Amino acid sequence: MIRGNRYIHGMMKLQDIKTLVFDLDGTLWSPLGLSLEAWRRSSAEQGIDPAPITPEKIGSLLGKSIWEFALGLFGHLEEQQLRKLCDRAMELEVQLICEGVGTLYDRVEEVLHRLAEGYPLYMVSNCQRGYIEAFLETYQMNHLFRAYTCSGDTGRSKDENLIALIEEYGLVQPVYIGDTDLDRQAASAAGIPFVYASYGFGSAGEDVKYEIDSIEELLDLF
């Protein structure tokens, strides 16, 4: 179900939108299975109790920066040990993506192909270096996205990366599509509209002006 009115940010109307910027995890696919596997393997390799690694905990942390994710799982570990655990888990995640582990949401490929016919598509994520590349290569979507950026490449926060992407590529009247309050905050900081993907892993508060319950509903908007 789509809710909201035709104004999704200030006085901008839906028909004014000319560029679509996507979050990745929770918006285009679910990486829950691969994250569970990667962190459990990393923990086993280093002899660390994997008890904190549960589907519920992983789901609550998706969308956060890499270091926030690691602290959320194993904040009790010493920094050096935690960094080693985190680095290995991130490496394993990219490897697992290349092996086809992870779940695309229904009709994602079809929807993105149709949207790309009328809009330039971009991506901003809080993932590690190599993650977006592995995703796009595995699912043969490289040709759909003009550019992308992530915290693993830049060391910056999501809002900083979103603003930098807009400025670097001169994005015209963009909208950001994501599934968490962090995504909403990033869009707000960049001064652009936000569409909340309620089917993902987070929440975006009660003041969200526009919401979709499945990715195909984007075709009704754009």
- pLDDT at position 12 is 56
Residue 209: pLDDT band (50, 70, 90) is: confident
What CATH number should be reported for the domain holding residue 121?
3.40.50.1000
Same domain, 156 and 89: no
Residue 48: pLDDT band (50, 70, 90) is: very high
Same domain, 18 and 36: no
Same domain, 46 and 123: no
Same domain, 208 and 109: yes
Same domain, 215 and 180: yes
Give the mean pLDDT of the chain. Answer: 91
- pLDDT at position 6 is 34
Look at the block and give the residue holding tokens 């693993």: 152
Domain stops at, among 98, 121, 150: 98
Strands 174-178 and 19-22: parallel
Task: Please give the residue range of the domain that contains residue 149.
Answer: 7-30+105-221
Q: What angle do CA 180, 31, 113 make, to 5 degrees?
A: 80
Q: How many domains, in total, are found in the chain?
A: 2
1 within some domain: no
Which residues lie below 8 Å from residue 7, measured CB to CB, with a gap of 6+? 13, 209
pLDDT tens-digit readout, 123-169: 999 999 999 999 999 999 999 999 999 999 999 999 999 999 999 99
Domain stops at, among 67, 98, 129: 98
Same domain, 57 and 138: no
Residue 5 has pLDDT above 60, yes or no: no
Residue 69 has pLDDT above 60, yes or no: yes
Residue 13: pLDDT band (50, 70, 90) is: low
Per the DSSP assignment, residues forming a β-bridge with 148 are 123
Mean pLDDT value of segment 26-45: 95
- pLDDT at position 213 is 95
Strands 194-197 and 174-178: parallel
Residue 14: pLDDT band (50, 70, 90) is: low
Same domain, 51 and 26: no
Q: Within the chain, where are the H helices?
A: 32-45, 55-61, 66-74, 79-98, 108-116, 131-138, 151-154, 158-169, 181-190, 218-221
Same domain, 67 and 113: no
Which of 14-23, 37-46, 90-99, 140-149 has the weakest average pLDDT?
A: 14-23
41 within some domain: yes
Look at the block and give the residue holding tokens 């192909």: 113
Among candidate residues 171, 175, 98, the one with its CA nearest the CA of residue 136 = 98
Residue 66: pLDDT band (50, 70, 90) is: confident
Mean pLDDT value of segment 34-44: 95
